Amino acid sequence: MATGNSNIYMGAPVRLATLPNGAITNAEAHERLVRSSYLEPTVDRVSSRVTVFGGDAFLNLTMIEGDDGLIVYDTGEVLADGERFLRQIRSVSDKPIVAVIYSHSHYVHGTTALAGADVLVIGHPNVNPNLAAGSAGTAFAETAPLQSSRALQQFSQYVDPAGPNAPAGAALHFGRSGMLPVNRPVQDGERMTVAGVEMQFFTRFGSDTDDCLTVFLPREGVVLNNFLWPFVPNIYTLRGSKFRDPREWRDGLKVILGLDAEVLVNTHARAVRGRDAVRDTLEHVIDGLDLVLDQTLRGILRGCGPEELREFVRLPGPLATHPNLAEIYGEISHFGPYLYNHALGWFDGDAASINPLPPLEQATRLVEAMGGAAAVTANARRALDAKEYAWAAQLAGYLFRVAPSDPAIRSLKADALQAMGRVTPAHTIRNWYMAHARALRGEVTIPRLLFSNPRVLAAVDPAAFIEQYRVRIDPQRAGSTEKMMAIRVTDRDARHALHVRRGVAAFVADPSRHARSPDLEIATDYDNWLRFFTCRQTLESFLSAATIERGGKEDARAFFELFDFYTEEDNRLFPSTGSKA
């Protein structure tokens, strides 16, 4: 089992390189990324009908040339991607775009730049519901604002754009959306011919989402998919998502393997050419997924808890060296604990873990036991000098838990995280380290919650965000309060309620049919409610723009004061240096 200096975060040698943007990063990881991805703008004509445009963003956009029109596979992360894609298309063809196919719900936002609203849009049946829910990866809709902030941290939005700590890989674009909904959902195994191009669709399995659509062009021997990535399949993402089952991902790859394709076109990876190469690549990644799951389960049966699995689960040489299994996006050490939690929950089997001390008390006692803050700081600095970055970060974490506003402690933790960010092979992990280092130094403010713009949320029925508001109730403030507030959304013909009782805010979909009549009622337009819901305006501003229809303004104010409101200071991921611990 690997320990100590065999770990790159604990002093194992790492060769560093400086990228054109100034980023100092793990050299071997970057070299492996070059082998499996289009890092430079590339026009890759993989067959007589299929052209891949790669290298201008984190994803590839693909054009299929039909007899009298073009079909595109994915349209981009933002509207600007679609505009760029259109320029690329027009450099090789002037045929009209007659159909759009979505590989999954992540890359649907450039569509209106490519075609009008009446274009044929083909996709998995889950794409539209997932987009309407606001996030294809949210197990609980209420956590979407947290996951939105995490997505920006993961994809370099809080990282220096240039210099030693700049991005070294994963950097998504954020901006206006030009999404058009799917108007032709397809089923597993369904066949269709568009512009003379025969296609077969596969929808049964998912990879990082549950709305993946694999497309087979039998006459071309080409498969388009979101299952083969240029690195190890990211079973767990730090930003959080619905459960990603490695068996689902594996079985999606097995479907592709069974098609005996000549060319494999991928959302992120370089195209793979030749039947033998396609088969070899797919078999390696299938085996890699099986190994991660099987060895996690083997470790559990041998007594490993979540933390032990970080070291126990490792790819052996033949798999570890394969280009499409490189740990250059996520790290396999994160997958074992994730799968353990799904299988058994948080309990590691050690009775001493059942009722641990709260984190602050634990940190306070550990710092005291290690000789006090000065001694722990000195040990952390020595660990940094010895390149034992993980130990330095852990020690700094105890200190930070006790004194989060102390500038020296924040600087110490930032130094440790920055060092880990430079040696990590995984570029999304690097972004987390570098973003948090900047925030600790006061160079950027990272919000804990990032709400969508009210204009975007307005596409969703008001019931959703009135119901989601319930989780902000503070049982201590609510005490023995029993009040029911009806909320009438005047421009949506909607009326719902929240019934506060016993520290719970129960959502009432139809107050007119509830056993109890509302004690209070407020009428508001939807935008006013959404600006309050997203904490873009204060309670006072919200009430001033609303009409109290039952009860008084003071009663309404008292009701809403039972719920959390996230001020700018409350919503910082890290407290400002002027805040109290």
Which tokens in the block code for residue 115? 């075609």
Residues 241 and 208: beta-carbon distance below 8 Å: yes
- Stretch 293-321: mean pLDDT, rounded? 98
What pLDDT is stored for residue 3 in this prediction? 34
Tokens (6 digits) for 334: 């994160």
Q: Look up residue 108 and give its two tokens.
A: 């649907």
Distance CA 46, CA 261 (A): 12
pLDDT for the residue 579: 54
Q: Round to whole Å and give the CA distance between 448 and 148.
A: 9
What mean pLDDT comes out for the span 524-538? 98
Domains of the chain with bracketed CATH: 1-16+356-449 (1.25.40.880), 37-333 (3.60.15.30), 454-560 (3.30.1050.10)
Burial, 48: exposed, middle or buried (Cβ in 10 Å; 0-12, 13-18, 19+)?
exposed
Report pLDDT for 578: 64
Q: Look at residue 225 and tell me whether its pLDDT is greater than 70.
A: yes
Sheet holding 191-194, edge to edge: 191-194, 197-202, 214-217, 222-225, 263-266, 272-273
pLDDT given for residue 135 in this prediction = 54
What is the distance between the alpha carbons of residues 195 and 95, in angstroms, rounded to a whole number? 11
Sign of the alpha-carbon torsion through 370, 371, 377, 382:
negative
Q: What's the chain's average pLDDT?
A: 95
The pTM (predicted TM-score) of the whole model is 0.94
- The reported pLDDT for the residue numbered 134 is 63
Residue 568, amino acid: E
The yes-or-no verdict on residue 206 having pLDDT over 60 is yes
Q: What is the mean pLDDT of the segment spanning 271-296?
A: 99
Nearest to 416 by CA among 13, 14, 24, 9: 9
CA angle 396, 400, 402 (to 5 degrees): 125
Residue 514 — very low, low, confident or very high, per pLDDT cuts 50/70/90? Answer: very high
Instruction: Output the 3-class SS for 247-308.
Output: HHHHHHHHHHHCCCCCEEEECCCCCEECHHHHHHHHHHHHHHHHHHHHHHHHHHHCCCCHHH
**CA nearest neighbour of 426 among 9, 100, 46, 134:** 9
- pLDDT score recorded for residue 139: 86
Beta pairing partners, 191? 200
The pLDDT assigned to 39 comes to 87
pLDDT band at 129 (very low <50, low <70, confident <90, very high): confident
Q: Which of 478, 460, 454, 435 is nearest to 573 (CA)?
A: 435
Match 């503070």 to its residue by tokens: 474
Q: Is 430 exposed, middle or buried (0-12, 13-18, 19+ CB in 10 A)?
A: buried
Answer for the pair 205, 301: CB distance below 8 angstroms, yes or no.
no
Q: What's the CA gap between 289 and 291, in Å, rounded? A: 5
Determine the Cα–Cα distance for residues 247 and 290; give it in Å rounded to an integer. 8
Contacts 24+ apart (CB under 8 A), 473-480: 473/500, 473/503, 473/504, 473/505, 473/562, 473/563, 473/564, 474/562, 474/563, 474/564, 475/503, 475/504, 476/503, 477/561, 477/562, 478/503, 478/505, 478/562, 479/503
- For residue 1, the model assigns a pLDDT of 32
**pLDDT value at residue 131:** 86
Mean pLDDT within 160-184: 89
SS (H, E, C) 95-125: CCEEEEECCCCCCECCHHHCCCCCCEEEECC
Q: What is the pLDDT of residues 357-412, one digit of tens each?
A: 999 999 999 999 999 999 999 999 999 999 999 999 999 999 999 999 999 999 99
CA 390 to chain centre: 24
Residue 6 in this model has a pLDDT that exceeds 80:
no
Q: How far apart are CA 222 and CA 214, in angstroms?
A: 11
- Classify burial at 428, counting beta carbons within 10 Å of its beta carbon; exposed 0-12, middle 13-18, buried 19 or more: buried
Among 83-97, 122-136, 308-322, 362-376, the range scoring the smallest mean pLDDT is: 122-136
Lowest mean pLDDT among 376-380, 436-440, 569-573: 569-573
pLDDT at 152: 94
pLDDT at 409: 98
Per-residue pLDDT at 2 exceeds 80: no
pLDDT at 262 (0 to 100): 98
Question: What would the DSSP string read from start to end of 388-455?
Answer: -HHHHHHHHHHHHHH-TT-HHHHHHHHHHHHHHHHH-S-HHHHHHHHHHHHHHTTS---BS--PPPHH
pLDDT band at residue 14 under the 50/70/90 scheme: very high
